[in-house]
Each structure stands twice: as structure tokens, then as C-alpha cells.
Chains A and B, each alone.
Chain A
């Protein structure tokens, strides 16, 4: 098997609540798996468990052939560099007391990327331009941005370390459709160039379809359906998937 990521029967618990129940999935390098489902069904919990940011109650997560839960020290640090997350709540994931430029530079410094301060600063500026932000704003603090700008800062920071795997939790939900299209193109471009794999969590089914090779549908902690994006969107099998697809607010119908 040359899968980059293997999730085997993973469960996540919060006290008595089993938020993720025995989920299995695989993801190859250069591939995108979309993850959709009811609000509160366990998508973010699963995403965090994949990155060892949440303990697993059962099952295991394999990355590049190694069990993620067993990683320690230098190996864990190496994993942290190779597997990054775009958090659903960008504000909460940014340090309010640090300018966003310094935050990105610090991430680079900690992982020994960029020989000097200047190269790190240039890299931060490049990342900012990539996500459509003005590099003159690198000195600003998180609260000085709009919601969609903060979301793009989260993307820039996650891409800074050139990871192999990106768990992107609703990464474009706060963007207007035009900027959103630009970011999707950026993510696809980086994927083609570097073979990056995405676990792409989203509620906008059109966006998830556009991004993903395959889609997994989650319901009450379990994966109830998986297939190619076309299969799942054009010929949904599970009743929840069917319900989901029929609830999409259709602009063309409303204007017809």
C-alpha cells in the first residue's frame, strides 16, 4: 500500500459522548478526499484526531507507514511539519498578541526553514500574496482583519511549512465566491506541483465537489457513504446524502 494516510476504526470520545465511531478512510499523496455531513456529526473531531491534536479512544492513524499516536520527540515534530491544519475558527487559532507576519515567520523559524530573518520575511510576503492579501498588512494583528482575510491568513500559515497533508476544515467558507475560486485554484496548483494531499471538510457541496476526487459522507459519527465526487453528487445512495443534496439553495431555480 502506498497510501499517505490510513485511518483505521478511529473513535473519538468526549466523556460519555462518542463523537467519532469507528471511522476508516485512506488518502493517497496528491489526492483530495472531501468530508461532508451534518453539523455536529464529528468532522472536526476526526480532522483533529488525524493530526494527533485530539486523542483517539480506539483505532489508529497511520501516516507514511507510521502510527501517529506513537510518535514522540523529533519524529512528532517532523509529523507536525508534514501534516498541517486549517482550523474552522481562524480567529481562535491565531495568537492575538502577535502580528500575523511574525506568527508566520515564527512557524518557519521553529521548523528551521529559511536561513535568515530576511528569507523568512520574504517567504511570509510570498504566502500573503498567494492568498490574495496585501503584503503591507503583515504587521497587522489578527483583530485588524475581516473574517475572510483571517481565514486566508490561516491558509497561508498552514501552507508555510510545505506539508504533505493538509486537513482543511471549512477553509473557504468566509470568502466571496470570486476570492473562493482563486483559493481553490491555488490549492489545486500546489497539489499538482507538490503532490499535497487534502482532507477537505466543507458544507458547500459545490465547492467540495469541485475540490475533491472522492467524497465521504459522515452522519452521527460514522461514514455512511463514500465514492467518487461524481458518484456521490449525481447518484447518492444513502438517504442522508440525498436529503443533503436536495437542500442546496439553488440560485438558478430561484431566478428562473
Chain B
């Protein structure tokens, strides 16, 4: 065996090292992400949890360099995805990475879907771009049904504003899966879904991991979801990762004060004495 650092880079699908992202002025920046390390192995579901505003979304967006520049700047670190140095890629190489290999379910679907195209057209476009030879219309219908939309034909013909919050979220999920990615970055993918549809979506993601070896970075505030689906978890607070490990170990025996505070605040449906 090699030493640990080397082994991770060799075997991991994604390896992020001392990533820092700043916003605002250079002299007094907002340190949104402040020296973060994490990795994901092929077929792994890794959760990223933490305080609102702690840098989860910005860390996730950095992976395919989707940070709004020049306001935001990756000032330090390495991102190695499938052996590629993401921070050194040319824009043509980046375009190939986005969508095709790393797909995103963005946190706010209403603002990520294009308001002037129907949902079916947008999902179809993702298929046309990334999966040559696939029958577009049939695949769109299949995806919309897979994410639990009760009337896929109506959803396909609808503009985003004609769908409810949770239907938009499911359209967003279908669009991300349309690209057939290797890594799915799912930023709060089920917040607008009732728990029965939520369960259906989580089952779908787990199935894609089993069948295709899809790797998933799952950002969520719902520790019940983390406990049920994630292999490992990273806990973020104030731009830094404060704790990480096997999901059950971290949630059963949290070491960091912030993780303990978080676990204490989990709302329970049925009060136990």
C-alpha cells in the first residue's frame, strides 16, 4: 500500500485538497470556503452537512468551476476529478466535464430552470448534448416518470412557472440524470418534496449507485436522510470541515461541539421521553 494521501488520489473519483474560495474585496474577503479537504470514491454516497451559510453550496459549485467570477475566486487548493486537475482545465475541457461527467441538482430549482423553455425541451437538450443516439422523447418521458411526476406528459409540456415547487425540483433532478453523469452533486435535492416522493427519489439515487456505480455528493439539512443513505459524512461550519467519518460513527458519537449541537436540534415527529 502507498501512504494515505497517494492512495486517495489514485483511487478516488474526486479528491479536493485545501480548497479556499473568497468573495468580495481582496483586502478583506468573505472567506466562504476556507481550506477544505474531502474526497469521494466511485459508487460512494457522501453527505455534506452544516450550518446555513457555512460554504456547502460554494464548495460544491467549485468542483466544476461554477463559481460566479470575478466576484468569487478559488484562491487556493487542488480539485482532482478522474485524474484531471480541474483548476487547470481549458474552457473546452471544462465544458465536457460539466453536465456529462459532473451533473448538478441545484439548491434553488426555480432559478436554475430556464423560464422560457418547456421542461421537456430542457431535459431533451441535456440528452441531445451528452448522449448521442438516445431517443430523446422517450428518454424524457422515462426520466420524468422515474422522478415520480404523476403526469409526465403534462410536466414535459409545461413551463417551469406552471409547476409546483416540488415538481420543479423533480424536473431539475430529471435534467441532472439525463446527462448520465459519473458524479451527481445534489444540493438539497428533496427540500420541496413530501416525504413519500422524497423516499422515491432517494431510492432512485441509491438504485443508480447500485446499478451504475454513480457517485453522489449529497448536501442536505435533513440528518434523517443522511443517516439512511450516506456512507460517509462531512460536517461544515464557518467555511471549514470540522468533522468527518463513517455516517453512523459520526452521528452516534459526534466529536465536535457543532455536530453535537446539530444533532440535539433534530426535530422529532414523536417525542420520546
Q: A interface vs B, CB < 8 Å?
A: 14, 36-40, 43-44, 88-92, 143-150, 152, 169-170, 173-181, 203-207, 209-210, 233-234, 243-245, 247-252, 254-255
Contact = CB atoms under 8 A, between A and B. Distances in A.
Contact of A89 (B52, B108, B188, B262): B108
A205 B167 contact: no
Given A177-B262, A206-B269, A247 B108 contact: no
Contacts of A173: 191-192
Given A40-B166, A178-B261, A250-B224, 17 more contacts: A40-B164, A169-B165, A170-B165, A174-B221, A181-B267, A203-B193, A203-B194, A206-B268, A244-B194, A244-B196, A245-B269, A248-B195, A249-B222, A249-B224, A251-B224, A252-B272, A255-B248
B196 A243 contact: yes
Interface of B: 23, 49-53, 56-58, 68, 71, 107-108, 110-111, 150, 162-167, 169-170, 187-188, 191-199, 202, 221-225, 227-228, 248, 251-252, 261-262, 265-270, 272
B267 A207 contact: yes
Given A174-B52, A255-B251, A147 B108 contact: yes
Contacts of A203: 166, 191-195, 198
Contacts of B192: 39, 88, 170, 173, 203
- Nearest 5 Cβ contacts at the A-B interface: A39-B166, A148-B52, A249-B224, A254-B227, A206-B267
Given A206-B268, A233-B270, A251-B223, A244 B195 contact: yes
16 contacts: A14-B162, A38-B194, A39-B164, A39-B192, A40-B166, A91-B108, A91-B110, A143-B68, A144-B71, A147-B107, A149-B52, A176-B262, A180-B221, A203-B166, A233-B269, A244-B196
A250 B50 CA distance: 19
A90 to B, nearest CB: 8
A247 B198 CA distance: 9
Contacts of B56: 146
Contacts of B202: 249
Contacts of B167: 39-40
Contacts of B111: 89, 91-92
Contact of A177 (B107, B187, B221): B221
Contact of B199 (A175, A177, A249): A249
A174 B91 CA distance: 32
A37 B165 CA distance: 13
Residue among B110, B202, B252, B272 with most chain A CB within 10 A: B110
A23 to B, nearest CB: 16
B267 A37 contact: no
B154 to A, nearest CB: 8
B223 to A, nearest CB: 5
Nearest to B162: A14
A175 B199 CA distance: 20
A144 B32 CA distance: 11
B21 to A, nearest CB: 13
Contacts of B195: 203, 205, 244, 247-249
Contacts of B252: 255
B102 to A, nearest CB: 20
Contact of B164 (A44, A204, A205, A210): A44
Residue among A175, A181, A255 with most chain B CB within 10 A: A255
A176 B199 contact: no
Contacts of B269: 205-206, 209, 233, 245, 248
A129 B191 CA distance: 25
